Structure 1
Amino acid sequence: MNKLMSPENFKIWLEAAFLALIGFTAVRIAVRASCMALAKGLDENKLLIFSKLTTYVLNTLILLLALDFAGVELKLLLGAAGVFTVAIGFASQTSASNLISGLFLIAEKPFKKGDVITVGERTGVVLAINLFSTRLRTLDNLLVRVPNETLMKSEITNVTHFPIRRADLQIPLSFDADLARVEKVLLELAESSGQCLDEPKPIFIVQGIRESRLDAQFSFWIHRDNFLKTKNAFYGRMITAFKESNIEISLPKMVHINRD
C-alpha cells in the first residue's frame, strides 16, 4: 500500500482520478440523454429505476477501472469487498427488502406520482416513488415517508385511479316516510345538480330496518375532481328538499327517566 501511495506513483493516481471524473461525467450525460430518448416509451417510475440502476452500475465499473489503472490489484479488492458484503449483509436486510419491494411497485404500478392513495390510516398524494421508500403529502399537509416493504405488505386504496367515483349517502328515515316520494326527490336533486352523471344511473335502496328507523342509501356517480365538493353540497340540498317535502329524517332520541 505504501508503494502505491509513494511520490513516484502520485502522478498515476492523479491521472486515475481525472479519468474517473471524466467517466462519471460521461455517465451522467449518457444516462440523462437515454432517459430523454426513452421518455415517450416509459413512465416516470420506470425512468427513475432505469436512471438510478444504470448510474450505479456504470459508476461502479468506472471506479474499478480507475483503480486498476492506478495499479490496485482488483482481486484483493474484490475479495475484501466480498467479506465486507457478508459482514453488513445481516444489517442491510431491511434495505434490501425495501429495494426489492420498490422494484415490484414500479413494475406493478398500483399507483403513480400525483395519485391519492390510502395506506392503513394514512391518506395522501404520492410525491415520489423511490427505490427504498415512497413519499406522501397527507391531506393536512404533512410529509410521510413510507418504506416500500410496508406498502407491499399493506392494502393500498388508489382513490384517484379511475376518472369517476360513487358517492354513497346514508339516510335514516322514519317508518312513516313515503319511499317513492323520497326516491323522486333525490333523483330530481341529482338531475338538477349539474355534477351527478346520468350513467351509471343514481340508485336509491333500503338497506335494512332498525328498531326506530329505515336505513336507506342514495348513490350517484361524479367526476373524481368534484367528489368532496359535490357530495357535501348534496347533503345540504337534500336536507332543504326534505323539509320542503315534509320528509322526516329519523334522528336518535334521548329519553330522560325521572327516578324520583
Structure 2
Amino acid sequence: MDSILNWLNENSGLILHYGIQAVIALVIFLLGGRIAKFCAKLTEKAFDKKKVDKAVSSFVSSIVYAIVFAATILMALSQIGIETTSFIAILGAAGLAVGLALQGSLSNFASGVLIILLRPFKSGDYVEAGGKAGTIKKIEIFSTEMRTPDNKVIVMPNSKIMSDAIINYSREATRRVDLVIGVGYDADLRKAKEVLKSVLDNEPRILKDPAYNVSVSELADSSVNFIVRPWVKSEDYWPTYWSLMENIKIALDDADITIPFPQMDVHLHKQD
C-alpha cells in the first residue's frame, strides 16, 4: 500500500495531466456527437428550404453526420496523446482489409451515390426496382426504403436497385391504360366498338389529348380481341383501370355482346 501511495505522490502531476486530457477528450467526443447530429439536421433543413427531394437531403445529411463524427473521433484521440497520423495510416490499412471483406457494402454505397447523381427516381415516386414495387420513402447510404401499396416496408440494398432495370411509374404526368377486351365471333364488331367508345367517352378521368384508341388487334382462338388504350393522369391510372373493367363488362352485357371464355371445339368422327 505504501509503495502505491508513493507512486501516486511521485506521479501525481502526470496523472493529473492525463486525467485532464482524458476528460477533455470525453467532452470532445460527446459534444462532437451532438455537433454531428446538429450539422446533419441543419443540412437537411437547408435542402428542405430549397425544396430539394427528401431522399437526396436524407442521403447527404447522413454523409455529413459520418464525416463530422469521424473528425470528432480523431480529435478526441489526438487530445489523449495518440498520434493520429500513424493512426490514420493504420485505419487506412485496416480500411483496405475491411473494404475487401465488405465489398457488398461498398457496392451499396457507390450505388447510393449513383442514385443521387443520376436520380432515376425521387421520394414519393412509385417504382419497380430490384424485383419489388413500391413508393420511395427515403434513400440512405447503403439502402433505399420503399413502401408497398399494402403498407409493407421494403429496405432494398442500393446495389440491387442499380444492377437491374428501374421502372418509374410516376415520372411522367400521364400514363396509358392498356386493356384487351375479347368479344365472341358472332358479335357485331361495329356495335361492340361503339359500346367500348361510349364507355370511354363517359369516363371523366380519360384525357382528350392524346386521343384514345379502340381497334381490333387479334382474331384469337375463341374471341375477337379489341385493344382499348386511353390516356390518363398518372395518379388516376388504377382508379380508371378498375372503373373501365367494370363498366365495359356491364355495357357489353346490356348490349347482349358476349365476352367468351377460352374454349375448344372437339369433333368426333365415327369409323365403320
Question: Is the TM value for this pair above 0.5?
Answer: yes
**1:127/1:187 Cα in 2 relative to 1: closer, same or farther (>3 Å)?**
same
Aligned: 1:19 with 2:31: no
More displaced 10-residue stretch of structure 1: 147-156 or 169-178: 169-178
2:241 equivalent in structure 1: 231
Aligned: 1:32 with 2:41: yes
1:151 equivalent in structure 2: 161
Equivalent position SS for 2:178 = strand
Cα deviation digits, residues 33-75 of structure 1 (max 9, x gap): 3432332333222222321222222222222122222211123
More displaced 10-residue stretch of structure 1: 24-33 or 60-69: 24-33
**1:27/1:236 Cα in 2 relative to 1: closer, same or farther (>3 Å)?**
closer
Paired AA for residue 30 in structure 2? L
Give the Cα–Cα distance (whole angstroms) in 2 for the partners of residues 240 and 94 of structure 1. 53
Contact 1:175 1:212 in 2 (8 A): yes
Paired AA for residue 187 in structure 2? A
Contact 2:63 2:141 in 1 (8 A): no
Contact 2:183 2:223 in 1 (8 A): yes
Match for 1:139 among 149, 173, 176?
149
Contact 1:46 1:107 in 2 (8 A): no
Equivalent position SS for 2:177 = strand
Equivalent position SS for 1:67 = helix
Equivalent position SS for 1:105 = helix
Equivalent position SS for 2:89 = helix
Match for 2:192 among 182, 191, 201?
182
Equivalent position SS for 1:136 = strand
Root mean square deviation, CA, Å: 2.5
More displaced 10-residue stretch of structure 1: 76-85 or 148-157: 76-85
TM-score when scaled to structure 1? 0.87
Any stretches of 5+ residues in structure 1 without a counterpart? none
Aligned: 1:59 with 2:69: yes
Equivalent position SS for 2:201 = helix
Give the Cα–Cα distance (whole angstroms) in 2 for the partners of residues 82 and 120 of structure 1. 33
2:208 equivalent in structure 1: 198
1:107 equivalent in structure 2: 117
Q: Percent identity?
A: 25
Give the Cα–Cα distance (whole angstroms) in 2 for the partners of residues 140 and 259 of structure 1. 54
Give the Cα–Cα distance (whole angstroms) in 2 for the partners of residues 197 and 79 of structure 1. 63
More displaced 10-residue stretch of structure 1: 135-144 or 214-223: 135-144
Cα offset, 1:212, TM superposition: 3.5
Equivalent position SS for 2:192 = helix
Contact 1:164 1:221 in 2 (8 A): yes
Paired AA for residue 15 in structure 1? I
**1:33/1:145 Cα in 2 relative to 1: closer, same or farther (>3 Å)?**
closer
Cα offset, 1:109, TM superposition: 1.5
2:218 equivalent in structure 1: 208
Contact 2:184 2:260 in 1 (8 A): yes
* 4+ long deviations beyond 6 Å: 256-260
Give the Cα–Cα distance (whole angstroms) in 1 for the partners of residues 32 and 102 of structure 2. 29
Give the Cα–Cα distance (whole angstroms) in 1 for the partners of residues 207 and 185 of structure 2. 30
Aligned: 1:7 with 2:33: no
**1:257/1:121 Cα in 2 relative to 1: closer, same or farther (>3 Å)?**
farther
Give the Cα–Cα distance (whole angstroms) in 2 for the partners of residues 110 and 117 of structure 1. 10
Equivalent position SS for 2:202 = helix
Give the Cα–Cα distance (whole angstroms) in 2 for the partners of residues 35 and 188 of structure 1. 51
Cα offset, 1:114, TM superposition: 2.1
TM-score when scaled to structure 2? 0.83
Cα deviation digits, residues 145-173 of structure 1 (max 9, x gap): 21111100111111222233211111112
**1:195/1:38 Cα in 2 relative to 1: closer, same or farther (>3 Å)?**
closer
Which has the higher Rg, Structure 1 or Structure 2? 2
Contact 2:53 2:122 in 1 (8 A): no
